[in-house]
Amino acid sequence: MAKTPAQRIKKHGSRAAVPQHHLPPVVNPTTARTPQKAQSNGNLLLIAGVVASLFLFWYLHLLTLDQLRQLSGGLAMPDSLIGGFDPAYIGTLQAAMDADARGQLNYLHKTAGTLFPLIFGFTWLLLIGTNVARKALRWALWAFPLLFVVVRLWANVAIDGMLAAETPDAGQVALASGLTVAGWVLLVLSLLAGAAAVILGTRKPKAAS
């Protein structure tokens, strides 16, 4: 039976041979991440976000909202009216849509209508943040996608509340219409802000050289 180091020291004193114990080597001794690898990961995340945003925009505005025309006698949903709408149009739309049709629009607002602005907003914040170094300019460009998310989600709630009313309320219609128009304008401004950020990002290596 092998003796422990303490037993060997007790028996042989300073002449005892005590085996040396070594800690196992670290599997990955370095945690450093190169800038190239970080940039590659960021690019992959951006690409995924852009693809998801494009898909959700197509699914929401070009597919599902258009299909809901079948439940409204061919009338466009308020979300698709870039120029806004008035109480007369909403009154006609309410008369054409039954409770099931309004329920489907409400469900769409809670799913794709919520996912699209959130994913688009996050993607554009990342796009601008990785390409614009100046803090003040970065925040100025960030304002457009941030406002788009807030306005678009608010518009969903306003449209559902407007259509749920028994008769069109002028105040509700004006609010929902204004938010819808503002959402489209902010979407375009967000796209322009993203394009400006990309242009600024491509100029950085030239300025450094």
Choice among 40-49, 101-110, 200-209 with the minimum mean pLDDT = 200-209
Position 126 in a domain: yes
Look at residue 10 in the predicted model and tell me its pLDDT. 61
pLDDT in tens, 111-155: 999 999 999 999 999 999 999 999 999 999 999 999 999 999 999
Position 20 in a domain: no
Choice among 1-15, 63-77, 123-137 with the minimum mean pLDDT = 1-15
CB atoms within 10 A of CB 42: 14
Residue 110 lies in domain? 40-208
DSSP state of 133: -
Position 58 in a domain: yes
Position 6 in a domain: no
Position 127 in a domain: yes
Look at residue 208 in the predicted model and tell me its pLDDT. 45
The predicted model scores a pTM of 0.80
Position 1 in a domain: no
Say how many domains are in the chain: 1
Position 8 in a domain: no
pLDDT in tens, 163-193: 999 888 999 999 999 999 999 999 999 999 9
DSSP string, 53-86: HHHHHIIIIIIIHHHGGGGTTTPPPGGG-TT---
Position 119 in a domain: yes
Look at residue 39 in the predicted model and tell me its pLDDT. 67
